[in-house]
């Protein structure tokens, strides 16, 4: 099968390379022009069809279960719920190459030349749609494995600029497996957290019950703390940090 550059002259190829060199920048770069086009990405109007047999049930709540391509579902949700969703959780394909991900009706395996670029483009399209659904205090959480965390974080920084909050560590199992490669097995997965500016995690009200000692000079209560972790305190010469041995 002929490639798209096969019929170009040497001068035309040089101009393409020069243009690519000028466009180099810091950040994540993937082969967006070379991968197989996502058949779900089109300009067709998305319509959701109600399944009455599955929908008409007495219940004290209202929920939606959408069956279909996730890109189309996100486009439909954006039309109906843009700026109205407070929390989105995404469990994406982990790009392991073990036929755990279908793209354009076929599995993407480890032998696919553009596997990583296809995965990045697939997620980028859907992250930008999900971003538009969030309220001003909305949050987006995405699970991933260690192998692809770095790529996904850079992708999310690009798709969701200025929205990075941090990450959680989810312990996926107890114990390990001494038969793993290098005798090292992972028992956790990160969950990346990105949110709009007004988002805040809920917490518990601070309690002062542990502050049992009174400093007469400062006129305030204080508590004793374990020095097995790094701590700091103020003195007249400035702030001093104490580090554990």
With cut-offs at 50, 70 and 90, classify the pLDDT of residue 243: low
Among the ranges 10-19, 87-96, 132-141, which has the highest mean pLDDT value? 132-141
Q: CA–CA separation, 48 vs 73, rounded Å?
A: 8
Q: CA–CA separation, 78 vs 10, rounded Å?
A: 45
Residues of 155-194 as b/e, b for ≥16 C-beta within 10 angstroms?
bbeebbeebebebeeeeeeeeeeeeeeeeeeeeebbbbbb
Q: Which residues contact 140 (CB under 8 A, 6 or more apart)?
A: 87, 88, 90, 127, 130, 131, 134, 160, 163, 193, 194, 195
Q: Per DSSP, what are the bridge partners of residue 167?
A: 192
Q: CA–CA separation, 7 vs 13, rounded Å?
A: 10
Q: Which residues contact 9 (CB under 8 A, 6 or more apart)?
A: none
Instruction: Give pLDDT tens digits for 119-135.
Output: 999 999 999 999 999 99
pLDDT at 156: 96
Instruction: Give pLDDT tens digits for 23-80.
Output: 766 678 787 776 777 777 777 788 888 888 888 777 777 788 898 888 999 999 999 9
Domains of the chain are: 25-175+183-195 (3.40.50.150), 213-242 (no CATH)
Q: Which residue has the tokens 């959480």?
A: 141
pLDDT at 77: 94
Q: Which helix (H) or strand (E) holds 165?
A: strand 164-171
Interval 221-244 mean pLDDT: 63
pLDDT at 102: 75
Q: CA–CA separation, 245 vs 242, rounded Å?
A: 9
Extract the tokens encoding 234. Answer: 């103020």
Report the candidate in 112, 189, 185 with the shortest Cα–Cα distance to residue 152. 189
Kindly state the greatest CA–CA separation across the chain. 86
State CA 86 to chain mean position distance: 16
Instruction: Give pLDDT tens digits for 188-205.
Output: 899 999 999 999 998 887
Identify whether the C-beta of residue 137 lies closer than 8 Å to the C-beta of residue 198. Answer: yes
């Amino acid at each position: 099968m002929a490639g798209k550059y096969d019929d170009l002259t040497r001068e035309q190829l040089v101009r393409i390379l020069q243009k690519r060199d000028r466009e180099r920048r810091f950040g994540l770069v993937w082969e967006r022009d070379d991968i197989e086009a996502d058949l779900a990405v089109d300009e067709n109007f998305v319509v959701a069809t109600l399944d009455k047999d599955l929908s008409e049930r007495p219940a004290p709540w209202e929920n939606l279960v959408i069956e279909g391509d996730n890109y189309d579902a996100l486009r439909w949700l954006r039309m109906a719920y843009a700026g109205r969703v407070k929390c989105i959780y995404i469990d994406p394909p982990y790009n392991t190459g073990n036929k755990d991900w279908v793209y354009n009706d076929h599995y993407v395996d480890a032998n696919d030349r553009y596997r990583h670029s296809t995965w990045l483009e697939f997620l980028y399209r859907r992250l930008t749609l999900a971003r538009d659904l969030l309220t001003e205090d909305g949050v987006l959480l995405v699970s991933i494995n260690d192998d692809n965390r770095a790529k996904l974080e850079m992708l999310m920084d690009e798709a969701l600029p200025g929205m990075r909050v941090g990450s959680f560590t989810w312990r996926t199992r107890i114990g390990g497996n001494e038969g793993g490669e290098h005798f090292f097995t992972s028992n956790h997965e990160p969950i990346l957290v990105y949110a709009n500016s007004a988002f805040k995690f809920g917490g518990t009200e601070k309690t002062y019950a542990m502050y049992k000692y009174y400093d007469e000079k400062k006129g305030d209560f204080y508590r004793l703390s374990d020095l097995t972790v790094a701590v700091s305190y103020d003195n007249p010469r400035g702030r001093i940090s104490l580090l554990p041995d």
